[in-house]
Structure 1
Amino acid sequence: MLSLRSAWKTIGDARFDAIPASLSVSYLPSLDGLRAISIIFVIVGHILYTTPYGRYISGSTGVMIFFAISGFLITTLLLKEQVTTGSFSLKRFYIRRFLRIFPVAYLFLLVLLVINQVFALHIARLDFLMAFFYVKNLMTVYDTSWQTGHFWSLAVEEQFYFVVPFLLKYHYRTYIRLIFILLLIGPPISILYYHSHITGTTGILLGIGVDLFGRGITSILFGSFCAILMFKGMIPLQVLSKYRFLAPFLVLLVAVGHFNITVGGWQSFWMYANPLLAGAAVLLSLQPGSWFYRLLNIPFLKWIGVLSYSLYIWQQLFTNHQPWAHTIPHGDAFWVNIPVLLLVACASYYLFEKKFLKLKDRFHGPAKAVRGEPAPVHSMA
């Protein structure tokens, strides 16, 4: 067993000598299956959002797992390139992220501009601007639109993508310290915000602190940290493989945690327990041979996982507060909207997004990263 001092020395060393065997492949199909489970949580949570059953299932369950996958895969992608070439290209990374995220996101906003006029939704100009510039998470007090609400999580991820690769490349030890600091200061900020009933400017500042350090970023950071630990050889999957029933149990705990947030009011505990559980579930999903791994590799689930970003982007129009809810028969019925959502997501992915994905592939480094790079995720729950 490593002592705390030697463990810190190992983690803080910016050198990465080898790619873990379990991450040396170019494609991790089980993570697509896990994405599928995540997007199903989001869609079902949104369908039930305004019903009495909405308190029992939350889209945030899928969000937390999505975030953990994203942090894990982005860090894996960068470290694989670093091990293979001695460094990684920030320029290529940012170009790849732009080509994956922005085209369809801005297509959605363009379509929403038209829908806003046709159906007189009265979405404020500020909502469009916050979504366009990816600052929804910094200005939640002004967030009044359901239709652009999912850009909150996109904003969190974009800010992560902008800052973390730079820190990994040039200030690695600072990044490690940042992970520990944010994981330590998050719980007390959350406790103060949810249990002290502080109002006024202080309450607003605490709310901003929770938005910055509590909702999403902890899951991304923990997923990233799990990848670092794997590259350091400190998380042997062969040991975790002995606990094959642990992964679905952790996913269930994440769901129960969000039930407690909405019903039991244990926000300050579950907001920080869930990222840890979600990150552990990501690791456990990588165990070949387990029944959870086989479940995640069902072809239909993998296909839904591939479409998860497309489904995420467009689901906000079809799961609740549908613009056409009162203008066409059964306009708010899920059995009408969900099949249409699937068709729209397929058209979006195969006819629009894949053009940019082919262009994005030109900017991979010498070490081809894990296929199926993480797509941004949903936030409103």
Structure 2
Amino acid sequence: MSSSAGSRVLPLDGLRTFAIIGVVLYHLHVQGFGGGFVGVNVFFVLSGYLITSLLLKEQMQTGTIRLGRFWVRRVLRLYPTLLAVVLVAVALWPLVGDYTYNDLDAWPAALVALTYTGNFARAYAHLSQGVFAPGWSLAMEEQFYLVWPPVLAFFLYRGFRRRSVAWFGAAAVLASCVLAYVLYETPKGIATPDIYFSPVANVAPLLLGCVLALALTHERARTFFAGRVGAWSTWIGIGVIVAIAAMLGNGSLIGDDWKNEPLFFGVLLPAVGLGTTLLIAGVVSRKTALGSFLGLRPLAWFGRNVSYSLYLWHMIVMALLDPFVSGLGGKLLLLGASVAVATASHFVIEKPFLRVKKRFEPASWSVERTRETGHESAGQETVESLRV
């Protein structure tokens, strides 16, 4: 199973499915999923790995990284659904504006969401956005992708080896973890510590994915994970993720409130990122039973096509329907309704803009798709499966 950026790696899409379902069940307060929010860290690592893989692929094939086109692709991938969610939420604000914790009126909350500053609002202004709350992690990613691609392009342009850039990234990961531990301050009440929303103190998961993408361009690293080590890393990685999520959920790891433990932010969350890195390294390097399961086409299709929309829409669906349901059955109904809305959003909103997005991809990607599949339509999913 190739680890190159242009290859279809279905298990990574399947991993998205489980990550997003965990996050939604956490927001639904389903018993046993109190640690489901660690799925956000899984997404961070996936995003760092896939985006960096595509940037490296472009640089290797064309000799350059066209940053303008990269950012246009990001906007076309992410912004249409975000804009739709914001407009719907603002229109329904009398019904959804008071759901969960919210400190902002409709348009200020919308402005924060649309400018990708949700993490700053949480960390520095201590303002919660209600149904737009999931936007904090999108803000973290987009702020990172304003900085990382130019940094990567600069290093490569200056002749740095990818291995050297990977070591630089690894050092930054360690520095981020130390900062998270040192800068931790006990929050007031039920608030989440500011460092959780910091684009510096909580950048380790994104950087771990970037480091892995850089490392796997080296023949020795690919050979290393293509052997038995890759199988072991796959199972160790998923074991770490599941164990930490489960123990956080039942309070057996660090007590009942993870927000009051610096260990959580400096060690445990980065450990989830490291586990995800090991899992990805294994499934992209060799065939394993777990990879085959994660790569089942229904799981992969859902993760690739619905996970992003579901992350944005589920809070609005919950705000509208939660007063009318109860019990576990009611929560599952909310999950089903959220999935239905997100799936419709993918077909109605996302797909048309994804076709436009293809026009801003390097020409070599289309040529490679045609060469590998024999015709363009069948090859379309090759690079699209890597979009984040």
Q: TM-score range by the shorter chain?
A: 0.7 to 0.9
Shift of 1:231: 1.2
Answering whether residue 264 of structure 2 is matched by residue 286 of structure 1, we say no
Aligned to 2:368: none
Letter in 2 for 1:132: L
Cα deviation digits, residues 289-324 of structure 1 (max 9, x gap)? 310111012111012112211111212234x5x233
Q: What is the match of residue 298 of structure 1?
A: 296
Partner SS state of residue 27, structure 1: coil
Where structure 1 has 5 or more consecutive residues not aligned to the other structure, the ranges are 1-19, 376-381
Q: Distance in 2 between matches of 1:298 and 1:170?
A: 39
Aligned pairs for 1:1-381 (under 5 A) are 22-23=3-4, 25-48=6-29, 53-55=32-34, 57-60=35-38, 62-119=39-96, 121=98, 124-125=104-105, 126-141=108-123, 142-172=126-156, 179-194=169-184, 207-208=194-195, 211-215=198-202, 217-237=203-223, 239-243=225-229, 244-259=231-246, 263=251, 264=254, 265=261, 266-267=263-264, 268-306=266-304, 307-318=306-317, 322-326=319-323, 328=324, 330=326, 333-368=330-365, 370-375=383-388
- Counterpart of 1:100 in structure 2: which amino acid? R
1:128 corresponds to which letter in structure 2? A
Q: Secondary structure at the match of 1:253?
A: helix
Residues 118, 137 of structure 1: CA spacing in aligned structure 2 closer, same or farther, 3 A cutoff? closer
Q: What TM-score, normalized to structure 1?
A: 0.80
Q: What is the CA-CA distance between 1:138 and the residue it aligns to?
A: 1.8
Greater mean deviation of Cα atoms: 241-250 or 292-301? 241-250
Secondary structure of 2:357's match?
helix
Instruction: Report the Cα distance in structure 2 between the residues aligned to 1:198 and 1:304, rounded to whole angstroms.
Output: 36
Counterpart CA distance in 2 for 1:82 and 1:366 is 13
CA–CA separation in structure 1 for the residues paired with 2:167 and 2:4: 25
How far the C-alpha of 1:27 sits from its partner, in A, is 2.1
1:333 aligned counterpart, secondary structure:
helix
Task: Show structure 2 runs of 5+ residues with no match.
Answer: 255-260, 366-381
For the residues of structure 1 that align with 2:204 and 2:60, how far apart are their CA atoms? 26
Which moves more between the two structures, 263-272 or 80-89? 263-272
Change (3 A) 1:179 1:209: farther
CA RMSD of aligned residues (A): 2.9
8 Å Cα contact 1:137-1:152 kept in structure 2:
yes
d(CA) in 1 for partners of 2:296, 2:283? 13
| Compared CA separation, residues 208 and 35, structure 1 to 2 (3 A) | closer
Work out which structure has the larger RCO, using CA pairs closer than 8 Å and 6 or more positions apart in sequence.
1
Q: 1:239 to 1:246 in 2, by over 3 A?
A: closer
SS in 2 for 1:139: helix
- State TM-score, norm by structure 2: 0.79
Distance 2:153 2:274 in 1: 25
| Shift of residue 256, structure 1, vs aligned partner | 2.6
Aligned 8 A contact 1:186 1:214 in 2: yes
Q: Is the 8 A contact 2:89 2:96 kept in 1?
A: no
Once the two structures are TM-superposed, the CA of residue 237 in structure 1 deviates from its matched residue by 4.8
Identity %: 25
Give, in whole Å, the separation in 1 of the partners of 2:296 and 2:45: 21
The whole-number CA distance in structure 2 between the counterparts of 1:238 and 1:179 is 20
Please say if residues 260 and 270 of structure 1, whose CA atoms lie closer than 8 Å, have aligned partners that are also in contact.
Answer: no
- Richer in helix (by share): 2
Equivalent residue pairs, number: 342
> 1:152 deviation in Å?
0.5
